[in-house]
Structure 1
């Protein structure tokens, strides 16, 4: 089981590990495994500019420090907070993780 995956719960992580083993021995197809992954992994959600700012402030981080944790530029975070741009992809996944588990989860 990959340590970088984020699951709904420890139970989902254990079930996923079992399903992965079944996939490796050919008992389930790749398509079935992909569909199962979708149900086990923590979904990401879109965040409003206000949500992003509130999240950063909750973590007591300046824009520069928050950006460094997310591996993006200061301007990128500023653009998200002002609504000029929206986070997507990996950045949105990281923001969702920070929202659920705090900034230390990605430290």
Structure 2
């Protein structure tokens, strides 16, 4: 049996890991597990224009490459960084992933 070090996990990660164990054991069904999956999704934070620019600069990519990795236009990245537009939906989720994990997940 693998021992889990819950000290390094967030409360939602502990809940999800516990629910996953219950699902694997047949104690909860797939519908209930999907509810836990949804409940335990990490929040998607809104990002300011400066936040977006800093994420890009920290990851050492140009606006052109950043736009390609996010599957948006260069104009969109420029407008985000100037505060004229704000990312939402999948773009905001991808920006949060880059913020937490770096640019590498988008390169694959």
Q: Do the two structures share a fold, i.e. TM-score over 0.5?
A: yes
1:73 maps to which residue? 73
2:86 match: secondary structure: coil
How big is each residue's C-alpha offset from its partner over 1:63-106, in whole Å with a ceiling of 9 and x where there is no partner?
A: 00111111111011111111111111111111000000100122
2:64 maps to which residue? 64
Q: Distance in 1 between matches of 2:71 and 2:57?
A: 18
Q: Distance in 2 between matches of 1:105 and 1:12?
A: 25
Q: 2:16·2:40 contact (CA, 8 Å) conserved in 1?
A: yes
1:28 maps to which residue? 29
Q: 2:44·2:92 contact (CA, 8 Å) conserved in 1?
A: yes
How big is each residue's C-alpha offset from its partner over 1:15-58, in whole Å with a ceiling of 9 and x where there is no partner?
A: 46445547xx694362x334312333222111001100010010
2:99 maps to which residue? 99
1:82 maps to which residue? 82
Structure 1 or 2, whichever has the larger Rg, is: 2
How many residues are paired up? 98
Please list every run of 5 or more consecutive structure 1 residues that lacks an aligned counterpart in the other structure.
1-7
The TM-score with structure 2 as length reference comes to 0.72
Change over 3 Å in CA distance of 1:81–1:19 after alignment to 2: farther
Q: Distance in 1 between matches of 2:93 and 2:102?
A: 13
The TM-score with structure 1 as length reference comes to 0.72
TM-align CA RMSD: 2.9
